[in-house]
A and B are shown apart, each in its own frame.
Chain A
Amino acid sequence: MSETLADDVVTRLSSAADAASVRAALSGRADVMEMTQATHDAALMPADPGGLSHGLRAALAVRIARLNEDEALAAHYARLLENAGASADEAAAADPDFKGGGRLAAAIAFTDLVTMRTRETTAADIEALRKVGISDADIVRLAELNAFLAYQVRVIAGLKLMRATA
């Protein structure tokens, strides 16, 4: 198992393997990078998406990547979105300026809050999702999607800094 790198989104988008010392470190954590990719697939393209379609997941992922100023990651999710068969409304959620209406608006507002101002989240924000008819299971799915993206965008940013200082 020497120098074998998984073809995962994080390694690819950070270009971290361009630096030999970072490549070696990633090779030592190949299991973590593989599992990171598995969580990407589970959060974006689960076999049972519940009330959160693959299209909406991809659109919110584009939005979150843009909120975090990671255009390359946003482009990755935009490609996913193209293939996910999202409704026009769902696809519009990719634009951080789009606020939507009804259930979609609630999911979008929750996403913006949890992505950018996590600490300010309160029980009232969960109630707001329930009030528009989003089930508890879908609330967990939405939180997991946001949470995974927060992790992924930070690992990519950290790896880029490692490469830049290698």
Chain B
Amino acid sequence: MSTVIREFTTKIPHWRPRVKPIDLAAATPEQLDALKVTPSNTKVSDYVLVLANDVETLKVRTPLFNAIMYNRGGLGRAEREIGATAASVVNHCIYCAAVHSSRYNQLAKDESVMERIFRDGEEAELDDRQAAIFRFATRLSKAPSEADEADVQALRDAGLDDAEILDLILSASLFGWANRLMHVLGDPVAHEG
């Protein structure tokens, strides 16, 4: 049994499911469609195979996820990753935090922001724009009622327009969703060997 990872890291762990993934060989046509399995693409992660237990939700959630994180315009992709990481820190989803902090680092070509967030949490010293983004996403993630008008006004004061604020709300909220699957249905473990 490999050790469960309990500290935030930018090194992406292995995800070990707590419930049974579906058996790909016995998958229904609907499941294969949702998994996007084709003869040339038969590699599916355990995570997605677990989610295929609820195929109707998986089928519509995957395109929603991609649209919120990757569609054009609005908030820059790196800043959406701050929203995703903030939620993952609140919910202590080690796996999600690793994936999205490392993606931020690649996109922003700067490792210091995530280092400070992992080390100091809500006390992390960030520039005004990053601080407003991180604070709002953190409070919305803790409980919807914790985020207030002053938090959104701070986003406006830091220069975010409505399209950008909407994208931040969506990316932080989406990880309220993703964390409740990743952190709840499995464990982040060190890679073997």
Measured CB to CB, the residues of A under 8 A from B are 21-22, 24-26, 28-29, 31-32, 35-36, 38-39, 42-43, 46-48, 50, 68-70, 114, 118-119, 121, 123, 125-126, 136-137, 139-141, 143-144, 146-148, 150-159, 161-162, 164-166
What residue in chain A is nearest B89 (Cβ atoms)? A119
Q: Taking the complex as formed, is B103 at the interface, i.e. its CB lies under 8 A from any CB of chain A?
A: no
Chain A residues with CB under 8 Å of B92's CB are 118-119
Taking CB atoms and an 8 Å cut-off, the chain B residues in 147-193 that contact chain A are: 147-149, 151-153, 156, 161-163, 165-170, 172-174, 176-181, 183-185, 187
Chain B residues with CB under 8 Å of A161's CB are 147-149, 151-152
Q: Number of residues in B with C-beta < 8 Å to the partner?
A: 57
- Known contacts A147-B178, A161-B151; decide if A137 and B73 are in contact (CB<8 Å): no
B56 touches A48 (CB 8 A): yes
Determine the distance from Cα of A151 to Cα of B167 in the docked complex, in whole angstroms: 13
Q: Taking the complex as formed, is B64 at the interface, i.e. its CB lies under 8 A from any CB of chain A?
A: yes
Q: B108-116, B127-135, B137-145: which one contacts chain A?
A: B137-145
Q: How far is the CB of B28 from chain A (nearest CB, A)?
A: 10
Determine the distance from Cα of A41 to Cα of B125 in the docked complex, in whole angstroms: 41
Besides A136-B53, A139-B53, A155-B169, 18 other A-B contacts (C-beta < 8 A)? A24-B163, A26-B166, A28-B163, A31-B71, A35-B63, A38-B64, A39-B57, A42-B61, A118-B92, A121-B184, A126-B18, A136-B19, A139-B19, A147-B177, A147-B179, A151-B177, A155-B173, A158-B168
B64 touches A121 (CB 8 A): no
What residue in chain A is nearest B4 (Cβ atoms)? A123
B147 touches A150 (CB 8 A): no
Chain A residues with CB under 8 Å of B151's CB are 161
Chain A residues with CB under 8 Å of B152's CB are 158, 161-162, 164-165
Which of B53, B145, B156, B181 is most buried by chain A, counting CB atoms within 10 A of its CB? B53
Measured CB to CB, the residues of B under 8 A from A are 18-20, 50-51, 53-54, 56-57, 59-61, 63-64, 67-68, 71, 73-74, 90-93, 140-141, 143-145, 147-149, 151-153, 156, 161-163, 165-170, 172-174, 176-181, 183-185, 187
Determine the distance from Cα of A141 to Cα of B55 in the docked complex, in whole angstroms: 9
Which of A39, A114, A146 is most buried by chain B, counting CB atoms within 10 A of its CB? A39
- Known contacts A46-B57, A155-B173, A162-B169; decide if A140 and B179 are in contact (CB<8 Å): no
